[in-house]
Amino acid sequence: MADDTTDTKSSNQMWGGRFASGPDAIMEEINASIGFDKKLFAQDIRGSIAHATMLAHQGIISAEDKDKIVHGLNTILSEIESGNFEFSRQLEDIHMNVEARLATLIGPAAGRLHTARSRNDQVALDFRLWVKEELQKTEQMLTHLIAAFLDRAEEHAESVMPGFTHLQTAQPVTFGHHCMAYVEMFGRDRSRVRHAIEHLDESPIGAAALAGTGYPIDRHMTAKALGFREPTRNSIDTVSDRDFAIEFLSIAAIAGMHLSRLAEEIVIWSTPQFGFVRLSDAFSTGSSIMPQKKNPDAAELVRAKTGRINGSLVALLTIMKGLPLAYSKDMQEDKEQVFDAAESLELAIAAMTGMVRDMTVNTARMKAAAGSGYSTATDLADWLVREAGLPFRDAHHVTGRAVALAESKGCDLAELPLSDLQAIHPDITDKVYDVLTVEASVASRKSFGGTAPSEVRKQIAFWRARN
């Protein structure tokens, strides 16, 4: 009993059954972020070099100390890059791990680096730099995905497929047009990414703990050195703000939703029942028991990754929602959410780009399906409006009767004899058969943004020029 209470390092009698270690160790475990924030080492060192350089330029530290600091930081950078750095959990986070090593390497000069800054503006800086780079990478990756779709759209500007609403055959469209719908979606994602880069392009360093500093620092100088447009304008907001991370996660969630819809379509299209596309071996797997199977696992996993990304967005919004200004340690929990979502998003975009480029499109299957389900019924109604002068509502009714007749005969609209059609409406002539084919149907839809191959080609040209 006495032994237990005097030794704080050993298992505590109150919760000892659950925890193998005492309160100090538990504090260390809940407090430390080095396990994940070591990912920020390059940003941390870049930030410190810019800060030390500015301090020397402003006469706050000596040029010799600055040189020692910069040299030491570069040594640490190569140590970490080559895997020769020992991270310590006792030192909590990346900032203190780097600073402690700097002290070992260069001695007392290391102690001058943290002048006029705090870990609060330091972590805001490191994380912003990381998110900015990740957004730039995302922009590139989306551009590749868009390019893959543009190529498929060009190749299939004339390939007819059924267009769906409610996943029921609606009207014929072209596969090129369908691909271009995704170009629009990922194009919007890319503009959101570009906008977010502009939005976060302000340097937090120099906000210090929350109130700014009495040292004569030059925040414009550090902002410029670190590639930011300008410094942030309010030191309290600067250390309280994680909007840039939440914006990244929102963008990732919306892009993830797009990727997931595409994944779902690929899952459907690649079933033997649809047979619209065949995934390459590179992006599918077999079954361990059913030899005939080829599973769209990559698409399914993209669909699932979206759930994780949404989880991260909700997690960070929830972490931030009740925090008083300025910094609270809760904010340390921002990084894992963003790192995990970034990894999921990158993988999902890469996998989708590969699948879209590699998949074989079965145009014959698509065309056959495009003609089934009375997909040209609207074309018949439009013909009655145009050629027989019927109001659209009446034409809709006449067409409905024609569809019902075809259904009862088990044939297509185009297979109904003229006499049958004329019995439904006397003004129908044999010219009507010209609009009942799927090719005529898509070619007629020349309205801006419509499915006609000529329109689709215009949109492809627009996006090729826009890149």
88, 191, 280, 287: which is the annotated catalytic residue? 287
166, 288, 408, 419: which is the annotated catalytic residue? 166
- 39 contributes a contact to ligand ARG by CB under 6 A: no
322 contacts: CB under 8 Å, gap ≥ 6: none
Cβ neighbours, 10 Å, residue 111: 14
- 48 contributes a contact to ligand ARG by CB under 6 A: no
> Measured from the CB of residue 132, what is the shortest distance to ligand ARG in angstroms?
17
User: Do residues 99 and 118 make contact, with C-beta atoms less than 8 angstroms apart?
Assistant: no
Tell me whether residue 235 or residue 459 sits nearer to ligand ARG (CB atom): 235
**Distant-in-sequence contacts of 22-28, Cβ < 8 A, 24+ apart:** 28/89, 28/90
Tell me whether residue 306 or residue 332 sits nearer to ligand ARG (CB atom): 332
| Backbone torsions φ then ψ of 437, nearest 5 degrees | -85, 155
Checking DSSP bridges between strand 230-231 and strand 202-203, what pairing results, if any?
parallel
Cα–Cα distance, 229 to 219 (Å, whole number): 11
- 441 contributes a contact to ligand ARG by CB under 6 A: no
Active site residue 220: no
- Round to the nearest angstrom and report the end-to-end CA distance of the chain: 72
> Measured from the CB of residue 217, what is the shortest distance to ligand ARG in angstroms?
19
Tell me whether residue 33 or residue 48 sits nearer to ligand ARG (CB atom): 33
> Measured from the CB of residue 34, what is the shortest distance to ligand ARG in angstroms?
8
Applying CB under 6 A, which of residues 12, 37, 102, 241 lies at the interface with ligand ARG? 37
> Measured from the CB of residue 448, what is the shortest distance to ligand ARG in angstroms?
50
Cβ density class 308-331: b for 16+ within 10 Å, e for less: bbbbbbebbeebbeeeeebbeeeb
Q: How many residues bind ligand ARG (CB under 6 A)?
A: 10
Applying CB under 6 A, which of residues 80, 123, 361, 442 lies at the interface with ligand ARG? 123
> Measured from the CB of residue 335, what is the shortest distance to ligand ARG in angstroms?
6
- 238 contributes a contact to ligand ARG by CB under 6 A: no
- 331 contributes a contact to ligand ARG by CB under 6 A: yes
| CA neighbours closer than 13 Å in the CB half-sphere of residue 40 | 31
User: Do residues 226 and 129 make contact, with C-beta atoms less than 8 angstroms apart?
Assistant: yes
Applying CB under 6 A, which of residues 44, 65, 93, 247 lies at the interface with ligand ARG? 93
Asked if the peptide bond before residue 209 counts as cis, ω within 30 degrees of 0, the response is: no
- 320 contributes a contact to ligand ARG by CB under 6 A: no
Active site residue 258: no
Tell me whether residue 65 or residue 334 sits nearer to ligand ARG (CB atom): 334
User: Do residues 206 and 217 make contact, with C-beta atoms less than 8 angstroms apart?
Assistant: yes
Checking DSSP bridges between strand 277-278 and strand 160-165, what pairing results, if any?
unpaired
Interface stretch with ligand ARG, choices 73-81, 118-126, 186-194, 280-288 (CB under 6 A) = 118-126
> Measured from the CB of residue 124, what is the shortest distance to ligand ARG in angstroms?
9
Applying CB under 6 A, which of residues 43, 53, 120, 362 lies at the interface with ligand ARG? 120
Quick one: angle between helices 119-155 and 175-199, nearest 10? Answer: 160
> Measured from the CB of residue 91, what is the shortest distance to ligand ARG in angstroms?
11
The tokens of 48 are what? 């410190």
Catalytic residue set: 166, 287
Where does this chain bind ligand ARG (CB under 6 A)?
Answer: 33, 37, 93, 119-120, 123, 327, 329, 331-332
